[in-house]
Amino acid sequence: MLVAPSLGYLVLSPMLIVFAGAVLGVLVEAFMGKTHRAAVQFTISVGVLLISLQQLWRIRDISSTTAAVDSVTIDKAGIFLQATVVLLALIAVFLIADQDNFVAQASAVPGSNEEAIALQQKNQQTEIFPLFLFAVAGMMLFPVATDLITLFVALEVFSLPLYLLAGLSRRKRLLSQEAALKYFLLGAYASAFFLFGAAFLYGYAGTISIRGISAAAGSANDVLLLIGIVFVSVGLLFKISAVPFHSWTPDVYQGAPTPITAFMAACTKVAAFGAILRIFYVGFAEAQTLWRPIITVIAILTMVVGSVVAIAQRDVKRMLAYSSIAHAGFLLSGVVALNKDGLAASLFYLVAYGLTTLAAFGIIGLVRDSTGEVTDLNRWIGLGKKSPLIGSIFAFLLLSFAGIPLTSGFIGKFAIFSAAYQSGNIAIVVAGVLSSAIAAFFYVRVIIMIFFTDPVNDSVSVIIPSVKSKISISIATVSSIVIGIAPSALLTAANNFANFIK
Amino acid sequence: MNLLTLVGALPLVGAALIYLIPTKDSELVKKFALLVTSLVAIAAIFLAVGFDKSITSLQYAQSYSWIPTFNINFALGIDGISLVLILLSTILVPIVILATWNESEGGRWSVKTFYVLILILETMMVGVFAASDLFLFYVFFEAMLIPVYFLIGGYGTGNRSAAAVKFLLYSLFGGLLMLASVIGLYVIAGNQIGATFDLTQLATLEIDNQTENFLFLGFFIAFAIKAPLWPFHTWLPDAAKSATPGTSVLLLGVLDKVGTYGMIRFCLALFPDASKTFTPLIITLSVISIIYGAFMAIGQKDIKGLIAFTSISHFGFITMGIFAMTSQGMSGANLYMVNHGFSTAALFLVAGWMMSRRNSSTISDFGGLQRVTPVMAWSFFIAGMSGLALPGLSSFVSEFLVLVGTYTRYPVAAIIGTLGIVLAALYILIPIQKTLHGPITEGNENMKDLNLREKISIAPVIAIIVVMGFYPKPVLDLINPTSAKVVVDAGYSDPIAEVNK
Amino acid sequence: MAIANYLYLSAILFTIGAIGVVVRRNSIVVFMCIELMLNAANLAFVTFARINSNLEGQVIAFFTMVVAACEVVVGLAIIVTIYRSRRTASVDDASLLKR
Amino acid sequence: MINFALDVGTTAAPESYLFYFLAPLSVLAALGMLLVKKAVHSALLLAWVMVSLAIFYIAQDALFLGIVQIVVYTGAVMMLFLFILMLVGVDTSDSLEENIPGLRPISIVAAIGFGGLLVTLIGRATFGRPVTGLAAANSEGNAFGIAEQLFTRYVFAFEVVSALLITAAIGAMVLGHSQKTRSSFAQRDLSIARFRKDNLKDAAGLPGAGVYALHNAVDVPALLPTGQAAPTSISKVLQARGDMIESATFQMKSDEEEEK
Amino acid sequence: MPTSENLLWLIALPLFSSAILLLAGKRANSWGHVMGTIVSASTFTIGLVEFFAMQSRPEESRAVTQKLFTWISVGSFNVDASLLLDQLSICFVLLITGVGTLIHVYSIAYMSHDLDRRRFFAYLNLFIASMLLLVLGDSYLNLYVGWEGVGLASYLLIGFWNQKPAYATAAKKAFVANRVGDVGLSLAIMIAFATFGDVSFAGMKENVDQASSTQLTAIGLMLLLAACGKSAQFPLQSWLGDAMAGPTPVSALIHAATMVTAGVYLITRSNFVFDEAPIAQLMVLIIGGITLLFGAIIGTAKDDIKKALAASTMSQIGYMILATGLGPIGYAFAIMHLLTHGFFKASMFLGAGSVMHGMKDEVNMRKYGGIGKFMPITAITFGFGYLAIIGVPPFAGFYSKDKIIETAFNEGGMKGLALGLATLLGAMITAFYMTRVVILTFFGNERWGHKDEPHESPALMLIPIALLSVGSIASGYILSRGEALVHWLEPVVNPLKEHHEELLPPIVVSLMTLGVVAIGVTVAILKYRGVQADHAPEKVSVLTKAARRDLYQDDFNEATLMRPGQVLVRNLLNIDYLVIDGLVRSVGKVSVTAGNQLRTLQNGYVRSYALLMVIGALALITTIWVVTA
């Protein structure tokens, strides 16, 4: 006889609320008239995320390993990561809901009559909202999943909507679709690796729960564990775009609609790093001799390659993509640190980086000419003259990426490198510092273009941001500034929440 | 409110207030900036008045918790060395503002922005010298780059953005190396005595040799770039050539001092053993800087480049004095920092006036100025004489102290360094001959002499240069106890002990 | 015969799938190769379930099938969209985004 | 030395015959997927691999999975693939020439290295625990065992998969479904429209494709009574795709041309 | 030691006067020269007051000091700004202020047509102040301030007419050459501090027995280098000829009477060092000997009257330096020659200035001739100076030079012989070239080639010349009477040292000297009597050519220092750009290139991305396996 399992609905509620919101969104798609759909969908998304956030606040002191039998562990770090995802998503949703970002009719062939008519009718694919909420839900599940299958399912739950969303850009649709295809094919490829690795971990431990894997350490020889760790890592490293599994990042970041890029860059990183941290800290901690050296190497490679290649970029979205690769390298040093400080630092870094990234992509969304967004760096020349505020904010964000003191990026870097140093990984600190120097080069170059070069004739016009974009960008920027100058609240929080139940 | 905090915060408040003035009313902006910075200078002088020379511990000390997670405190406090540098910075700023009244107008941005940047920079300068928390120092050290970067890039001349970038990247590179060392130190502190950034506590750490050497290098390279020491100097001439004269004054006169200040405050205090290990190397680099900078200065065709290279030579003296590890060398180096600040300020300001009148910075474009613009020529001449350390002017005292202090420990270095004074004569007299002497070059016939504003602004600098040449005692009294303490703390004692008289 | 042979088979099929993704240009074939990889993983799961004497592996394999089905739907939808826009199913033609 | 002996027990002889028969075939089929030109052949070969795997599942006490493999995978998923292949053009064939320089040799080396390494590593694995088989787990039937796991231990994942299904559905709909941008024309509307045109040439309806053609095919234009070809007779879809044969070849030749 | 409050005023008065003249600008044009002269005269008065006060005190308490303030005090390095007036410095004070005042007076007339006369007086006062500081400073560091101060004043005055590039260059050359000497002084002070922990004369003298002879030799050699720079001694003598670019009063005051003799002062002041450092002392002798011949030889070939006189100065200072190398007695004779030389050389320079004044600033003696009858006073006073310098009794030079030659011979042995012969030879050449100057200028045919006849200078110029002539006639006798100066200086120059035995009776030396002088004069008269051309002959001996080119000193400097220096600078500029900055730039370039190269991996093909992932996974497994196995 089957015994009905009991689920801890309270602690699962933040996720379930988002799932419910997504389903509600689907229903709205089915039964709601076209005219108000977008507004309703937006309201649902915001509301759901807010409720979820409030729910997370309520359960902040609760922890449970049996919330969903054995599939989910709600612990301090898990709640922090979920809250981060929700918060960033909440900011991102304002960008997503802003005008003119998504395709009018995805099924219409680009350039066709049908598309023209759809555009004329000011149609918009409002399905993006439920898809977005599904992705958020998946991202919330990903860092708290404690068995490989839930992990895999969560991975797919947030990946599939992203594949789709990447292809739904309103303009430059061929590029957008290509981004979707690339993202999808490579994502599925990486999933296959992940699954294959999961199989070997299962073979090694006889169970797929990551606690079980940790407990099984030493039960058999390491070969299966080795294969398992490597292949599971490939799947996860792909998601955080670590070198050499990073190739999709620039292409997809460039092709996807900018708000989605923002969302992807910020939230996927949080979710994926959450999962990586949990797996490596909880599941593979006993096998650290196996993976720490290579993750160290990958971290260094990622920092260096990300920084170096970014120099050669001519497109601002691609440049930020490479910057995000470099940041993944920095974040990996938090993984390698394998201590509480490393975890706390990573949590802090994720929030700081997420906010900055959202704001940066938000601004990219504002820089447009008659044909849509302008991402060619050469046409950003003189932006600071044209629109000093936008230029200054962007410059500030770049400085934050570069890790100049008094920005959140600096505190993050400091925290994460001290954790890495603490754990004895001095090489990673040195490499991090040097690649930061390289990275500074291209951030500074963009600042020059914005401020120190005279605008040419066909330069861009910055649109006056709508209220939604304003809200989103200003919240992200202001919190980024605050975190930079007075980081102690967030640091304390990160420290308090830096705890995985093993 | 602590007076030190006041000195540091006042410019920032001023910057905020300036922001409220309408952009168009640029004269009001300038006047207000001048007022604020003058008040700061006065406050700084009160700081010196209230300073107790007899104790070597930090004064005006205060500490507020900033980032408790890392035990980072907003801790300020000054000793003699910091005090004189704060005085230097705060006194120079109003002078620069007055002297370069119109320099902000040709910039990429508004006059208002210029002064906001200057005021922010002043806060950073005070902060960097007053910080007694390593992390806080680092924050000021790095954040200071940003206003300078915009000042060079936004208001400079020539290839300004390239120069600004070079400056920024060099400094960032050094800063990041230092960051690695800061992190290392923090972690080691965490393992030994609990996480802290307090300088006095950090100085008590026991670090194994190899680690100490690496940490030392991280700090030292950052400071050597800032200072700038050969071969980390190539950013300076470019930056100085592109920056406006006022910015150059702040850049060479004050900002670069952060490098040498850092060597004393951090390299020596935190890593005495490593300092000992690297001293021969550093002394060598200093000597190379002295000679190399001088030769390069001789070869310059651009007046700003010339001043920049003379500074490189002078910074060689300063680092040599610091690492000679004698009280004479140390005090001399400290005094040199102040003196170099003022004499470079004089040189750059006058050169700036010359250049703006002629619209050129090429030395050969000038000639016969002594007869056309005698006051300007004399100002330049005196500044130049201070640059070549003529006895009776301020630089001489410090240069000689450095040389004497060095000789007692490293005679060869001192001897080679002394040869630098011949080269100094060349690099100062050649441009003086070309600009002030000889027939009046075409285009200079109707050049205007200094106006009242310019005279008022240069007069105090020249007065300081002359007075400090004959009577450096007040400043030396501030410096001496601290430098003696630095030498002792680094584990050295003077080779020539006190003679009983 | 050793049970392990199933694992070898799984590894070989996985490798073939992985390389198929690299060498084939038709996006549908590429996608099929990914399915082959998933199947290889499933075989490993089932075999390990047998070795470990529990059914977890089989459950996972079941999940994999479901997930794969969803993935196929989404993937094919994307491929069809691209095909409609470009009239080609070759992955090489989708290479505007580069450098 | 590579040690291929993995200490996880052995199978009964019939199973080994089955394995030795089917495994090489499935490997060949998988390889074939990479080598055949036509996508549809690849699909069929994959189907073959999947069926083989289903048999292996059943052989390995995973009856339920074996069935699901055939029903869901081979049945549904592969059909979906084939369907799309049809849509894309069933006989479009892949050129097997490589146009990315250096890719092929590297990938072959990588493949050999990858496979070889995996096999080597698996050969070195040890378990250190007895293999008792699934008899106990399957005591109440394989399906029951799986169901028990699915609805108790993995119930959350099971529920979450629903999100995946919804996502897939939405995705397919968004990308595939044309929202009607206007109400569709009924026959009546079309007829009215025809008569409202400037001339009544098309009033009688368009000629059916291929009616008068030498070739009886949809991609050949009809010949009008005048002997001229009528390109309008071909479906717009085919026109748009360009899958249309030049109608000139089918025109009735004029007398003068005959004589020549 | 008694103190005196007056010493500060000696320096402060001219210093303030100078500052006022410079700051007041054109407003002071009308009274600037008067104030300058009055100030100079008042310093002379103070000097006299001090001198008589000193004379009235007993010998052991004649020196007075005045501590002004603590100048530099760091650790054990303590230097007070304090002044010392002793028997040695009072000689200089009187010479400087006395001759200085006369030259101020002279300049009022000489510079009357110059628009910048006020500035000239400002510089002169600055010079007086610096020079007084030089001789009054009680430590080497204080001396150093005056030392460089006179260098600065000299620089300003040589370059007074700096609108002429050549003059500006001459000024720069003088400063730089002086700076080379200053290196010596700097180093001497450093070594002194490292040795004694003190840099004051008194402190060092007290502890001189504690220092090793190596240290003392080092200090001595460095001081000698300093002296060479300031006193235009070989090998740093080349600037002096060019320094004649300055107005003639400057040449008289600075480059004849006072500043260039500072080297002699320095060595005399440092007698306690040199007496214990025989090697350094020997070097002093050698340098002095070389220079006295060097200068004399150059003097024979110069057509520029001022340059001829400058060469003569060089040579005469060579005598003095040589004398200081001769030990305790030598110091006194050096100072004596210094004082007499101050008078007669100043008078001759002023005379030359007077000639130039009458000849429209013509300096080429080949364009003179027969001026004596147009400018009789100038000619007569010049004649006194001439007689003094060639050492005709009873003129001043006879007493002082003769003593030096005598003391040189008294050194004994080969050393004494060599020195004696060198000084004798010097005397002969001196007689030759001075006779040449006098004949070419005041006698013979008139060669100036224009109708304006030379005219005598105004009284304001002639009076100082006359007064100086009196000095050149009488000073020798006064100073040597009863060895007045020698006794006066004894407390300073270490009287404990006993005299050498006299190898030759003084009368023999005097006769020998007079003999060679007669030879020199005769040769010159033979050579330059009769009609002379108004341009220098082209076909001359190699020696003459060499002498005309200052014995190739400038060429040598140019070839060994300047040219290589220029090449070095040029190369350094390139190295800095290409190598040092280039390295930095190449780091940037490498990054950019690497970025571009890696960018090509991002070729847009999904399949190659996938391949990269496969390779990545393969690498991961291999690495772990290799590392852990």
Give the nearest partner residue to D170 out of A26, A138, A206, using CB atoms: A26
All structural domains of chain D: 10-93 (1.20.120.1200), 204-253 (no CATH)
Within a 13 Å sphere around the CA of D94, how many CA atoms are in the beta-carbon half?
A: 29
Q: Highest mean pLDDT: which of A267-281, E19-33, E103-117?
A: A267-281
A282 interface with B at CB cutoff 8 Å: no
**Helices and strands (H, E) in chain C, number of each type:** 3, 0
Contact criterion met (CB < 8 Å) for B153 and A451: yes
Q: Directed axis angle between helix B145-155 and helix B134-143, to 10°? A: 10
Give the nearest partner residue to D107 out of E603, E611, E621, using CB atoms: E611
Q: What's the first-to-final CA gap in chain B, in angstroms?
A: 45
Peptide bond into B231 cis (omega under 30): yes
Contact criterion met (CB < 8 Å) for D172 and C77: yes
Which residues lie across from A74 on neighbouring strands?
Answer: A64
Q: Highest mean pLDDT: which of A132-141, B235-244, E7-16, E581-590?
A: A132-141
Position A205 in a domain: yes
Distance in Å, alpha carbon of B311 to nearest chain E alpha carbon: 16
pLDDT at D7 over 70: no
pLDDT exceeding 90 applies to what percent of chain D?
Answer: 19
Position B207 in a domain: no
**Would you say B330 and B487 are in contact if contact means Cβ atoms under 8 Å apart?**
yes
CA distances from C9 to C16, C41, C62, D26, D126 (A): 10, 10, 19, 9, 18
Looking at chain E, which residue has its C-alpha nearest residue A293? E624
Least confident piece of the model among B328-342, E56-70, E141-155, E444-458: E444-458
Contact criterion met (CB < 8 Å) for B437 and E165: yes
pLDDT tens, residue by residue, E251-264: 888 888 888 889 99
Least confident piece of the model among B77-81, B238-242, C84-88, D206-210: D206-210
Question: Per the structure block, which two tokens stand in for C68?
Answer: 């794969």
Contact criterion met (CB < 8 Å) for C74 and A207: no
- Amino acid (1-letter code) at residue B431: P
Peptide bond into B228 cis (omega under 30): yes
Residue D4: the pLDDT is: 41
Q: Find residues 232-291 of chain A whose CB sits inside 8 Å of chain E.
A: 233-234, 238, 243-245, 247-248, 250-251, 289-291
Contact criterion met (CB < 8 Å) for D33 and C69: no
- Counted domains in chain A: 1
3 state DSSP class of B29: helix
D110 interface with E at CB cutoff 8 Å: yes
Q: Find residues 183-202 of chain D whose CB sits inside 8 Å of chain C.
A: none
Q: Which chains touch D (3 or more CB pairs under 8 A)?
A: A, C, E
Neighbouring C-beta atoms of residue A459, cutoff 10 Å: 18
Q: What is the DSSP string of E259-281?
A: GGGHHHHHHHHTHHHHTT-HHHH
Residue B501: the pLDDT is: 41
Mean pLDDT of E102-127: 89
Identify the helix (H) or strand (E) that includes residue A266: none
Distance in Å, alpha carbon of C2 to nearest chain A alpha carbon: 15
Q: Directed axis angle between helix A340-364 and helix A408-422, to 10°? A: 150
Q: Which chains touch C (3 or more CB pairs under 8 A)?
A: A, D, E
Contact criterion met (CB < 8 Å) for A153 and C27: no
ipTM of the shown complex: 0.87
Contact criterion met (CB < 8 Å) for E73 and B392: no
Contact criterion met (CB < 8 Å) for B169 and A437: yes
Q: Do chains B and E touch (3 or more CB pairs under 8 A)?
A: yes
- CA B147 to mean position of chain CA atoms: 16
**Would you say A88 and A354 are in contact if contact means Cβ atoms under 8 Å apart?**
yes
Identify the helix (H) or strand (E) that includes residue D168: helix D155-176
Identify the helix (H) or strand (E) that includes residue D22: helix D13-35
Residue A404: the pLDDT is: 87
Question: Per the structure block, which two tokens stand in for A360?
Answer: 């940066």
User: Between D95 and A28, where is the model more confident?
Assistant: A28
Mean pLDDT of E181-197: 91
- Amino acid (1-letter code) at residue A31: F
Distance in Å, alpha carbon of A153 to nearest chain C alpha carbon: 7
Give the nearest partner residue to A231 out of E601, E606, E617, using CB atoms: E617
- CA B137 to mean position of chain CA atoms: 16
Mean pLDDT of E64-79: 88
pLDDT at B463 over 80: yes
| pLDDT tier, E39 (very low <50, low <70, confident <90, very high otherwise) | very high
User: What is the CA angle A157-A161-A163, rounded to 5?
Assistant: 115
Give the nearest partner residue to E569 out of B234, B298, B484, using CB atoms: B298
E228 vs E321: CA distance, rounded Å: 9
Exposed/middle/buried for C88, CB within 10 Å: 0-12, 13-18, 19+?
middle
Among A195, A226, A249, which would you mutate to test the C interface (most chain C Cβ atoms within 10 Å of its Cβ)?
A: A195
Contact criterion met (CB < 8 Å) for D107 and E614: yes
Judging contacts by C-beta atoms under 8 Å, the chain E residues touching residue D110 are 611, 614-615, 618
Position A479 in a domain: yes
What residues have CB less than 8 Å from E45, skipping those under 6 apart? none
Judging contacts by C-beta atoms under 8 Å, the chain A residues touching residue B154 are 451-452
B50 vs E415: CA distance, rounded Å: 67
Contact criterion met (CB < 8 Å) for A174 and C85: yes
pLDDT tens, residue by residue, A370-400: 778 888 888 888 888 888 888 899 999 999 9
Long-range contacts of D145-150 (CB under 8 A, 24+ apart): D145/C55, D145/C58, D146/C55, D146/C58, D146/C59, D146/C62, D146/D64, D146/D65, D147/A2, D148/A2, D149/C55, D149/C56, D149/C59, D150/C59, D150/C62
Position B404 in a domain: yes
Identify the helix (H) or strand (E) that includes residue D230: strand D229-230
Contact criterion met (CB < 8 Å) for E598 and A230: no
B176 interface with A at CB cutoff 8 Å: yes
- Phi, psi for residue E84 in degrees, rounded to 5: -135, 125
Contact criterion met (CB < 8 Å) for A406 and B139: yes
Give the nearest partner residue to C18 out of E599, E602, E614, using CB atoms: E614
- Counted domains in chain B: 1
B189 vs B203: CA distance, rounded Å: 10
- Residue in the block written with tokens 């991090």: A432
Question: Per the structure block, which two tokens stand in for E97?
Answer: 């202020």
E136 vs A406: CA distance, rounded Å: 58
**Would you say E255 and E310 are in contact if contact means Cβ atoms under 8 Å apart?**
yes
Exposed/middle/buried for E535, CB within 10 Å: 0-12, 13-18, 19+?
exposed
Mean pLDDT of E453-468: 86
Contact criterion met (CB < 8 Å) for A245 and E598: no
Judging contacts by C-beta atoms under 8 Å, the chain D residues touching residue C77 are 171-172, 174-176
- The CA-based dihedral angle spanning residues C41, C43, C48, C53, taken in that order and rounded to the nearest 10 degrees: 140
pLDDT tens, residue by residue, A224-251: 888 899 999 999 999 999 988 999 999 9
3 state DSSP class of B25: coil
Q: How many beta-carbon pairs below 8 A join chains B and E?
A: 163
Peptide bond into E394 cis (omega under 30): yes
Of B450, B463, B437, B431, nearest to B375 (Cα)? B450
Give the nearest partner residue to A234 out of E592, E608, E617, using CB atoms: E617
Contact criterion met (CB < 8 Å) for E604 and A251: yes
Q: What's the first-to-final CA gap in chain D, in angstroms?
A: 81
What residues have CB less than 8 Å from D116, skipping those under 6 apart? none
Identify the helix (H) or strand (E) that includes residue D35: helix D13-35
Judging contacts by C-beta atoms under 8 Å, the chain B residues touching residue E171 are 433, 437
pLDDT at D255 over 70: no
A178 interface with D at CB cutoff 8 Å: no
C76 interface with E at CB cutoff 8 Å: no
pLDDT exceeding 70 applies to what percent of chain B?
Answer: 99
Which residues lie across from A373 on neighbouring strands?
Answer: A368
Looking at chain D, which residue has its C-alpha nearest residue E603? D100
Give the range of the structural domain holding residue A171, as residue numbers without chain letter: 9-497
Of B369, B241, B243, nearest to B306 (Cα)? B241
- Amino acid (1-letter code) at residue E517: V
| pLDDT tier, E240 (very low <50, low <70, confident <90, very high otherwise) | confident
Contact criterion met (CB < 8 Å) for B426 and E176: yes
Widest CA span in chain C:
52
In chain B, helix, strand, coil percent, each to 5? 75, 5, 20
**Would you say E131 and E259 are in contact if contact means Cβ atoms under 8 Å apart?**
yes
D113 vs D116: CA distance, rounded Å: 5
C59 interface with E at CB cutoff 8 Å: no
What residues have CB less than 8 Å from B355, skipping those under 6 apart? B245, B303, B304, B361
- Residue in the block written with tokens 């044009």: E29
Least confident piece of the model among A83-92, B201-210, B319-328: B201-210
| pLDDT tier, B498 (very low <50, low <70, confident <90, very high otherwise) | low
Position A443 in a domain: yes
Looking at chain E, which residue has its C-alpha nearest residue D112? E618
B337 vs E624: CA distance, rounded Å: 54
Position B38 in a domain: no
pLDDT tens, residue by residue, B218-266: 999 999 998 888 888 888 988 888 888 888 999 988 999 999 999 999 9
**Would you say A158 and A260 are in contact if contact means Cβ atoms under 8 Å apart?**
no
Distance in Å, alpha carbon of A301 to nearest chain E alpha carbon: 12
Contact criterion met (CB < 8 Å) for A404 and B145: yes
- Residue in the block written with tokens 């549904």: D76
Give the nearest partner residue to C91 out of E599, E606, E614, using CB atoms: E606
| pLDDT tier, D2 (very low <50, low <70, confident <90, very high otherwise) | very low
Peptide bond into B237 cis (omega under 30): no
Query: Selecting from 2.60.120.650, 3.30.505.10, 1.10.10.60, 1.10.287.3510, what CATH number does the domain C4-87 have?
Result: 1.10.287.3510
Residue E410: the pLDDT is: 82
Position A2 in a domain: no
Residue C85: the pLDDT is: 85
Give the range of the structural domain holding residue B295, as residue numbers without chain letter: 271-492
**Helices and strands (H, E) in chain D, number of each type:** 10, 2
Distance in Å, alpha carbon of C16 to nearest chain A alpha carbon: 13
Neighbouring C-beta atoms of residue E544, cutoff 10 Å: 15
Position A502 in a domain: no
Give the nearest partner residue to B415 out of E176, E187, E198, using CB atoms: E187
Position A316 in a domain: yes
Contact criterion met (CB < 8 Å) for C74 and A178: no
pLDDT tens, residue by residue, B114-171: 999 999 999 999 999 999 999 999 999 988 988 998 898 888 888 888 888 888 888 8
Q: What is the DSSP letter of D141?
A: -
**Would you say D87 and D95 are in contact if contact means Cβ atoms under 8 Å apart?**
no
Position A1 in a domain: no
